[in-house]
Amino acid sequence: MEDDGSLGGKFWLKVFGIVVACGVGAAIVFILLGGAWARFGALGAIILFGALLLGFAWIYDRRQTRPYDDSVA
């Protein structure tokens, strides 16, 4: 099989799948943000999503410290 420099159909299907997944994720975030804005107002929506982001960051941080604890001891 000769390499003609093209990326191939499999690559473009993966790219298309990633683009669709990002689009669906963005739509879900906008729906949730709009719902929070309608229920709590602008400041309430900012506080709610800030709290959610802090929660995700805390979970991520807790999961990342475990591998480093073993290497330090």
pLDDT at 73 over 60: no
pLDDT in tens, 17-70: 999 999 999 999 899 889 988 998 989 888 988 998 999 999 999 888 766 666
Q: Can you give the pLDDT at residue 60?
A: 92
Instruction: Determine, yes or no, domain membership for 1.
Output: no
pLDDT at 16 over 90: yes
Render 10-63 in DSSP notation, one character per residue.
HHHHHHHHHHHHHHHHHHHHHHHHHHHHHHHHHHHHHHHHHHHHHHHHHHHHHH
pLDDT at 1 over 60: no
Instruction: Determine, yes or no, domain membership for 52.
Output: yes
| Domain of residue 72, residue span | 11-73
Instruction: Determine, yes or no, domain membership for 53.
Output: yes
Instruction: Determine, yes or no, domain membership for 56.
Output: yes
Q: Can you give the pLDDT at residue 72?
A: 62
Q: Can you give the pLDDT at residue 3?
A: 67
